[in-house]
Amino acid sequence: MNRPVRWLKPLPLRPRDAVHVVAPSGPFDRPSFEAGLAVIAERYSPVHGPDIFAAHRYLAGDDARRGGELSRALLDRDARAIFSARGGYGSARLLPDLPFADASHAAFIGFSDLTSVHGALQALGRVSFHGPVLTQLGRQPPAVREYLFRLLESPEAPPPLTGSATYVPGMAEGHLVGGNLSVLSRLIGTSYMPPLDGAVLLLEDVTERPYRIDRMWTHLRLAGVFSHVRGIVLGDFTGCEEKGADYSSADVLRELAREAGLPCAAGFPIGHGDINYPVALGTQVRLDADAARLTFLEGAVRA
Q: Is 8 in contact with 123 (CB distance < 8 Å)?
A: no
What is the tens place of the pLDDT at every residue in 61-99? 999 999 999 999 999 999 999 999 999 999 999 999 999
The packing angle between helices 249-260 and 210-222, to 10°, is 10
Count the domains in the chain. 2
Same domain, yes or no: 255 and 276: yes
Does 138 fall in a domain? yes
Same domain, yes or no: 224 and 114: no
Same domain, yes or no: 119 and 201: no
Of 275, 290, 56, nearest to 168 by C-alpha is 290
> 219, exposed or middle or buried, with CB in 10 Å at 0-12, 13-18, 19+?
middle
Of 281, 253, 265, 89, nearest to 183 by C-alpha is 89
Give the domain CATH number at 48: 3.40.50.10740
Q: Is the pTM of this model over 0.75?
A: yes
Same domain, yes or no: 49 and 172: no
Same domain, yes or no: 166 and 290: yes
Same domain, yes or no: 214 and 270: yes
| 181: containing domain | 161-296
Q: Is 298 in contact with 221 (CB distance < 8 Å)?
A: no
The residues with which 110 forms a beta bridge, in sequence order, are: 130
Give the domain CATH number at 270: 3.50.30.60
Q: Is 122 in contact with 278 (CB distance < 8 Å)?
A: no
Same domain, yes or no: 199 and 92: no
Does 68 fall in a domain? yes
Query: 76 — phi, psi (to 5°)?
Result: -75, 110
Tell me the C-alpha distance between 221 and 228, whole Å: 10
What SS3 class is residue 69?
helix
Tell me the C-alpha distance between 170 and 256, whole Å: 16
Same domain, yes or no: 197 and 102: no
Last residue of a domain, one of 130, 153, 176: 153
CB atoms within 10 A of CB 180: 27
- How far from each other are the two terminal CA atoms of the chain, in whole angstroms? 29
Catalytic residue positions, numbered: 112, 204, 272
Tell me the C-alpha distance between 147 and 158, whole Å: 8
CB atoms within 10 A of CB 188: 15
Query: 71 — phi, psi (to 5°)?
Result: -60, -45
Same domain, yes or no: 26 and 149: yes
CB atoms within 10 A of CB 6: 5
Last residue of a domain, one of 100, 128, 153: 153
pLDDT of residue 6: 76
Tell me the C-alpha distance between 229 and 261, whole Å: 11
Last residue of a domain, one of 153, 169, 201: 153
pLDDT of residue 5: 58
Same domain, yes or no: 149 and 165: no
pLDDT of residue 4: 46
Tell me the C-alpha distance between 290 and 237, whole Å: 20
pLDDT of residue 3: 53
CB atoms within 10 A of CB 96: 11
Tell me the C-alpha distance between 104 and 11, whole Å: 10
pLDDT of residue 135: 98
pLDDT of residue 1: 56
Query: H-helix or E-strand containing 178?
Result: strand 171-180
Question: pLDDT below 50 — which residues of the chain?
Answer: 4
Same domain, yes or no: 196 and 132: no
Query: 82 — phi, psi (to 5°)?
Result: -130, 115
